[in-house]
Amino acid sequence: MSHFVKRKIQREFLLLPLLACLCIPLLGVTTTAISRPLRHKRRFHFLSWLHWRPMFRPSHESLILQNAEIDRLELPRIQDDDELEALKASQALLPIRASESLRFDPRLDPSRRFSRPWTRDFTEDLGQAYYHRFHQQIQVNSAVRTVKVQKKLRRHNRNAAPCDGDTASSHLAGVTVDLQRRGMSKEQIRWMEHYLFYMKAIGLVEPEEERHQWVFHIMVSGRYAEWRLTQDLVPMEQPDAPVTALSLNK
């Protein structure tokens, strides 16, 4: 090996530590650039959760109340399509009717656009009141479900309620509807919350505002059918301020 080649190799080896020193800060910059968006995303998610203050936040207690009403009515949790079709044939489940005030999420299977009669009446009454106020339709995203459908849903949605027990999904009894919340204005959401607050105060519904699906989840009590018969007209407007149970007893 010539003297010139040896000198060149030695010079290159001497430059390696210098290059390493220059690269280390660059690697640090790259790592920081990659991690910052992740930290920012987590922080944004945490802050958005803090700022989300619905009137009807989902809770374990709410699920208990929903299932207590189902047990009071002695309603079965519908296991499969055979049971579902049998309940339709006996008119224990009735179709929710699309109208100028009510539409369906097109992804909702037509075979599951059914509910208990009082839940159907509540949904259509609410749709009429909402249309009277805003001249827009409410959208039904979900109604009756079978245990088979709920199990499939739980595989894809970790927030979905269980299929059995004291906190099982009330959709399984056909007493519940999910109404789309996404796309509503603040005024429309406030109106819905006041309407549901009034109905909850007199023991007719158990509502939740689901954040992940952006819906109003509404379990309707069997008492709604009796209450409805006492009303000359379904109320088109609800008070601007929530009505409490105490004020109703005055």
Q: Report the pLDDT value the prediction gives residue 161, as an integer from 0 to 100.
A: 84
Query: Is 170 within 8 Å of 66 (Cβ atoms)?
Result: yes
Same domain? 44 vs 71: no
- CA dist 220 and 235 (Å) reads 17
Query: Is 135 within 8 Å of 161 (Cβ atoms)?
Result: no
Q: Report the pLDDT value the prediction gives residue 212, as an integer from 0 to 100.
A: 77
Give the DSSP H/E element, type plus range, for residue 44. Answer: helix 3-51
Same domain? 131 vs 235: yes
Same domain? 153 vs 92: yes
Same domain? 153 vs 201: yes
Query: Is 195 within 8 Å of 126 (Cβ atoms)?
Result: yes
Same domain? 234 vs 179: yes
Between helices 186-201 and 117-134, what is the axis angle to 10°?
140
Q: Report the pLDDT value the prediction gives residue 29, as an integer from 0 to 100.
A: 45
Residue 176 pairs in a beta bridge with 219
State which residues form the domain around 31: 1-51
Q: Token pair of 198, please?
A: 């009034």
Strands 176-180 and 138-142: antiparallel
Residue 178's Cβ-count burial label (10 Å; 0-12, 13-18, 19+) is buried
Domain boundary at 16, 32, 51, which? 51
Same domain? 169 vs 228: yes
Same domain? 235 vs 138: yes
Same domain? 146 vs 224: yes
pLDDT of the chain along its 250 residues, tens only? 555 445 555 555 555 555 555 555 444 544 444 445 555 555 544 444 455 578 999 999 999 999 999 999 999 999 999 999 999 999 999 999 999 999 999 999 999 999 999 999 999 999 999 999 999 999 999 999 999 999 887 777 777 887 888 999 999 999 999 999 999 999 999 999 999 999 999 999 999 998 777 999 999 999 999 999 998 755 555 445 454 433 334 4
Tally of structural domains, the chain: 2
Q: Report the pLDDT value the prediction gives residue 32, as an integer from 0 to 100.
A: 45
Q: Report the pLDDT value the prediction gives residue 243, as an integer from 0 to 100.
A: 46
Domain boundary at 51, 68, 87, which? 51
Same domain? 11 vs 67: no
Domain boundary at 33, 51, 69, which? 51
b/e burial code for range 51-63 (CB count within 10 A of at least 16 → b): eeeebbebeeebb
Query: Is 135 within 8 Å of 172 (Cβ atoms)?
Result: no
How many CB atoms are located within 10 Å of the residue 247 CB? 11
- CA dist 192 and 173 (Å) reads 24
Q: Report the pLDDT value the prediction gives residue 38, as an integer from 0 to 100.
A: 53
Q: Report the pLDDT value the prediction gives residue 248, as an integer from 0 to 100.
A: 39
Q: Token pair of 127, please?
A: 């749709």
Q: Report the pLDDT value the prediction gives residue 156, as an integer from 0 to 100.
A: 77
Query: Is 190 within 8 Å of 136 (Cβ atoms)?
Result: no
Residue 179 pairs in a beta bridge with 140, 216
Query: Is 92 within 8 Å of 116 (Cβ atoms)?
Result: yes
Same domain? 131 vs 25: no
Backbone angles phi, psi at 34, to 5 degrees: -75, -40
Same domain? 16 vs 80: no
Same domain? 76 vs 183: yes
The candidate with the shortest Cα–Cα distance to 133, out of 85, 81, 77, 195, is: 195
